[in-house]
């Protein structure tokens, strides 16, 4: 039954060349030379005993037989890809590489990974810290956690947290000689900045405070550094509730005021659309989203106790 089938490599090469109507672009997609594509197409045409392509005015066109064959193969390859993904989605095993920024890894994900490992011991999670979101997944990365507005093309994005920005400081600072009873008192303290001074300026504007010291104070390149500076009493940070949760829970940081600023950005869990339902990726995604939902309302309780 199957002895009449042409070589799969030749069929795949034809499908790519027919889809692009270009041997050059097919070669780029398949990571081979243009000569290799031409060789595979010729071998397939010889096998079938008919022409699949014709050249006219430097353009590559499908013959009538080639067009009909391409439409059939296109559907067959789509079904084959779907069947493979469906099979792999049933297995939640193997190595899973997650790429994310160091601050989110240290403050949120790493302390919780043990829970995932207990639930899925057969999945080997590998953490890859990066300083910036690349907008695409490379180097064997299965999942990434990006910070932004969720507009990364060709990636499936799942919003994790609604993030709030609010002042936080060491509890010892509240006991110090400089009072901190209202937002107006911030002018007496050092402000700590995450990447830029923009967040403090926006927060001050929202609460109606005109603080001249908003253009002063150290700037840190990572959110975890800002939180550590606040923990050690070096000033008041405008921190993200998600990243600061461990420090707030432990009492190393407190929120002196309840005024919060909802961030226009948040963390997203992203993966390739074609890989979204693979077993290990789906398992990690579902676990993380469920955990986030459980923690989403805890900020309210923290603020009510301040």
Average the pLDDT over 34-49 and give the result. 94
Tell me if 53 sits within 8 A of 26, measured CB to CB: no
Tell me if 141 sits within 8 A of 99, measured CB to CB: yes
Q: What is the pTM of this model?
A: 0.60
Q: Which of 198, 262, 194, 264 is nearest to 224 (CA)?
A: 194
Residues 6+ apart with CB under 8 A from 182: 257
Ranking 28-32, 67-71, 148-152, 226-230 by mean pLDDT, the lowest is 148-152
CA torsion 186-296-278-152 (nearest 10°) is: -40
Q: Higher model confidence: residue 278 or residue 12?
A: 12
Tell me if 267 sits within 8 A of 104, measured CB to CB: yes
94-161+265-301 and 164-262, same CATH topology? yes
3-state secondary structure string, 223-282?
HHHHHHHHHCCCCEEEEEHHHHHHHHHHCCCECCCCCCEECCCEEEEEEEHHHCCCHHHH
Tell me if 123 sits within 8 A of 92, measured CB to CB: yes
Interval 199-237: pLDDT, tens: 888 888 888 888 778 888 898 888 889 999 999 999 999
Interval 58-76: pLDDT, tens: 889 999 999 999 999 999 9
Which CATH architecture describes the domain 164-262?
3-Layer(aba) Sandwich (3.40)
Q: Higher model confidence: residue 174 or residue 171?
A: 171
94-161+265-301 maps to which CATH number? 3.40.190.10
Average the pLDDT over 127-148 and give the result. 79
Structure tokens at 85: 């993904």
Pick the CATH number of 8-89 from 3.40.50.300, 1.10.8.420, 1.10.10.10, 3.20.20.60: 1.10.10.10
Tell me the CA distances in angstroms from 189 to 172, 183, 234, 247, one per residue in order: 13, 11, 9, 21
User: How far is residue 66's CA from residue 45's CA, in Å, rounded to a whole number?
Assistant: 10
Return the sign of the alpha-carbon dihedral for residues 163, 165, 167, 168.
positive
Beta-strand relationship, 266-272 and 143-148: antiparallel
pLDDT at residue number 188: 87
Q: Locate the domains of the chain by residue range.
A: 8-89, 94-161+265-301, 164-262
Range 56-95 burial, b when 16+ CB lie within 10 A, else e: eeeebebeeebeebbeebeeeeeeeeeeeeeebbeebeee
Residue 297 pLDDT exceeds 80: no
């Amino acid at each position: 039954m199957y002895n009449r089938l042409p070589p799969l490599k030749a069929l795949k090469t034809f499908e790519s060349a027919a889809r692009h109507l270009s041997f050059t672009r097919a070669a780029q997609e398949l990571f081979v030379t243009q000569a290799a594509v031409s060789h595979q197409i010729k071998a397939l045409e010889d096998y079938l005993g008919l022409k699949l392509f014709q050249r006219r005015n430097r353009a590559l066109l499908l013959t009538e037989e080639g067009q009909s064959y391409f439409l059939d193969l296109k559907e067959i390859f789509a079904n084959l890809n779907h069947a493979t993904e469906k099979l792999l989605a049933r297995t939640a095993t193997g190595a899973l590489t997650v790429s994310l920024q160091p601050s989110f890894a240290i403050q949120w994900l790493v302390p919780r990974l043990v829970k995932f490992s207990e639930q899925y011991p057969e999945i080997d999670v590998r953490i890859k810290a990066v300083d910036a979101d690349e907008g695409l997944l490379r180097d064997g990365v299965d999942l990434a956690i990006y910070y932004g507005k969720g507009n990364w093309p060709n990636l499936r994005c799942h919003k994790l947290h609604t993030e709030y920005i609010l002042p936080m400081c060491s509890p010892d600072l509240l006991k110090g000689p400089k009072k901190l009873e209202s937002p107006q008192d911030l002018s007496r303290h050092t402000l700590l900045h995450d990447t830029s001074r923009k967040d403090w300026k926006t927060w001050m504007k929202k609460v109606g405070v005109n603080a001249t010291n908003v253009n002063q104070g150290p700037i840190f390149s990572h959110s975890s550094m800002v939180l550590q500076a606040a923990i050690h009493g070096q000033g008041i940070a405008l921190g993200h509730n998600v990243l600061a949760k461990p420090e707030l829970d432990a009492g190393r940081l407190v929120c002196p005021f309840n005024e919060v600023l909802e961030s226009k950005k948040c963390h997203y869990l992203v993966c390739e659309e074609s890989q979204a339902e693979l077993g290990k990726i789906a398992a990690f995604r579902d676990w993380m989203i469920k955990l986030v939902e459980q923690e989403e309302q805890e900020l309210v309780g923290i603020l009510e106790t301040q």
